[in-house]
Amino acid sequence: MREQALQRLREVFGYSQFRGQQSDIIDQVAQGGDALVLMPTGGGKSLCYQIPGLLRSGLTVVVSPLIALMDDQVATLNELGLRAAALNSTLDEQAQREIADSMRRGELEFLYLAPERLVKPRTLAFLQSLEIALFAIDEAHCVSQWGHDFRPEYLQLGVLAEQFPGVPRIALTATADERTRQEMIQRLKLEQARCFVSGFDRPNIFYRIVPKDRPRQQLQQFLAQHRGNAGIVYCMSRKKVEDTAQWLSEQGWPALPYHAGLSAELRSYHQKRFLNEEGLIMVATIAFGMGIDKSNVRFVAHLDLPKSVEAYYQETGRAGRDGLPADAWMAYGLQDVLMLNQIMANSEGDERHKRIERHKLDAMLALCELTSCRRQTLLGYFDETLAEPCGHCDNCLEPVSTWDGSEAARMALSTAYRSGQRYGVGHLIDILLGRDNDKIRSAGHQHLSTYGIGKQLSEADWRSVFRQLIARGLMDIDLDGYGGLRLNDSCRPLLRGEQGLALRRDPSRSAPLPGRSSD
């Protein structure tokens, strides 16, 4: 079997060798076993079902969530001389009938379709009448209700196990935290599947996370190292995508917007340009990316904080798929945290769901505020250990200096406490800096004992303090959506003076903060 697989790899695909675990995976599936494949983006997942599809007789059915993705794959296979087609809603009746006919005649080798199409009783009955080589479920993490790509239709794919008991199934994804893994096994009924987990390290990606200061200028500085390179700039909202793309264009950068609010034609036009032209910058929401197969994306920049470490990993993973050096750069600030909290507070879903989302956001924040190697923590999140600091991230290269923020933290916490634990950062800072305004006066906050006690720090310094207090879980943001800050039980030892607090010194601050430096 392995010999035959290698032969197909060389003759059909023109590659000389298998990468990583490809050979083992292909062997498992070609012999009729199920497989769950967790492999980073760019790792080579497609061959893991395409080659078994060629080795087994019958039709290989590939479930894929996006039409654009299917069309790309089908085009690639056709170019290689393989008989592949995609069944989707963009085809007219006639074209659909032709595909069905060629399947009936046993002429088709690969059929791509969306999950909602596959689980229709008519489709299933039709497939029952054919010889099926295997089922491949791409982007299988879409079955996870807690993930950001959740597709309800994926939940029904379990029927394949019941209706096609003898047909091997392979599920593939680049997302692989333990929870998602368990959900895939359970929901897709892959209890018998062999699990293949490949390394998540992307050694050619350089990670840098900076505190947001003047984001446009910061972005521009970052882009200056990437003139002529293709890259993606992620923003949270459609409006910000539009504004940023326009601003970059005005500054002379070749930037295009992409978000779900644009017409389908414009989206696909921009996507095609990004794939085919050199050196374009795609400014996008997370709507852009799944399945984008452009190997020479040299950078991924985030102007807003992703909701989770998985999202961050997946989005940054679109850089450097060709293995050459690439940059993952992000600017994040307190405002991001407040905004994400607000989105979560207003989102539908039960308490349990919200709690999980909060934990995910907390892990993302912790990664941002980290003073040690980013890669070690990132990989640790996927249960992978890196024995030594990587030497190829901002923190490894420019060790972070910290300062003793215990006193500042106590001032911040008691200001929140004394003002009733319902005010947002801006007002708390006004109190600490002893500012005079209507809101202060009407609340009588000029009489608080902490009024004006924080003048030795600047407004930006205080923002950094609050940001880190929240990121470390010492303060909570009210879920009512107004951004009021509350104390959290875990801040007690600090308040009682039993514990100190070392804070990260933001690199962009020019004026040094007071306090003992520990670097």
Question: Which residue, 184 or 494, has its beta carbon nearer to ligand ADP?
Answer: 184
Whole-angstrom Cα distance, residue 371 to residue 367? 9
CA 448, distance to chain mean position in Å, is 43
Quick check: 198 binds ligand ADP (CB under 6 A)? no
Quick check: 43 binds ligand ADP (CB under 6 A)? yes
Quick check: 396 binds Zn ion (CB under 5 A)? yes
Q: Considering the complex, what minimum distance in angstroms separates the CB of residue 221 from Zn ion?
A: 21
Q: Which two tokens stand for residue 5?
A: 């697989």
Q: Considering the complex, what minimum distance in angstroms separates the CB of residue 441 from ligand ADP?
A: 59
- CA angle, corner 342, sides to 336 and 345, nearest 5? 140
Q: Which does residue 19 touch among Zn ion, ligand ADP, none (CB within 5 to 8 A, set by kind)? A: ligand ADP
Quick check: 293 binds ligand ADP (CB under 6 A)? yes
Binding segment for ligand ADP (CB under 6 A), chosen from 12-20, 142-150, 267-275, 305-313, is 12-20
Strands 281-284 and 255-258: parallel
Quick check: 375 binds Zn ion (CB under 5 A)? yes
Whole-angstrom Cα distance, residue 362 to residue 366? 6
Residue whose Cβ sits closest to ligand ADP: 44
Whole-angstrom Cα distance, residue 343 to residue 76? 39
Quick check: 41 binds ligand ADP (CB under 6 A)? yes
SS3 content of the chain, % helix, strand, coil (to 5): 45, 15, 40
Beta strands in 226-357 (DSSP E): 230-234, 255-258, 281-284, 297-302, 326-332
Answer whether 299's CB lies under 8 Å from 233's CB: no
What string marks each residue from 244 to 283 as x (binds ligand ADP by CB under 6 A) or -?
----------------------------------------
In the range 294-353, which residues lie near ligand ADP by CB under 6 A?
Answer: 295
Quick check: 373 binds Zn ion (CB under 5 A)? yes
Answer whether 308's CB lies under 8 Å from 364's CB: yes
Whole-angstrom Cα distance, residue 504 to residue 210? 11
Binding segment for Zn ion (CB under 5 A), chosen from 213-221, 368-376, 481-489, 495-503, is 368-376
Q: Closest Cα to residue 209, out of 472, 397, 393, 464? A: 393
Question: Which residue, 319 or 390, has its beta carbon nearer to Zn ion?
Answer: 390
Answer whether 147's CB lies under 8 Å from 310's CB: yes
Q: Considering the complex, what minimum distance in angstroms separates the CB of residue 320 from ligand ADP?
A: 12
Question: Which residue, 127 or 170, has its beta carbon nearer to ligand ADP?
Answer: 170
Q: Considering the complex, what minimum distance in angstroms separates the CB of residue 259 from ligand ADP?
A: 23
| Interface with ligand ADP: number of residues (CB under 6 A) | 15
Quick check: 19 binds ligand ADP (CB under 6 A)? yes
Q: Which two tokens stand for residue 476?
A: 């909570």
Quick check: 47 binds ligand ADP (CB under 6 A)? yes
Buried b (16+ CB within 10 A) or exposed e, 423-448: bbbebbbbbbbebeeeebeeeebeeb
Quick check: 469 binds ligand ADP (CB under 6 A)? no
Q: Considering the complex, what minimum distance in angstroms separates the CB of residue 411 from ligand ADP?
A: 49
Site of interaction with ligand ADP (CB under 6 A): 15, 17-19, 22, 39, 41-47, 293, 295
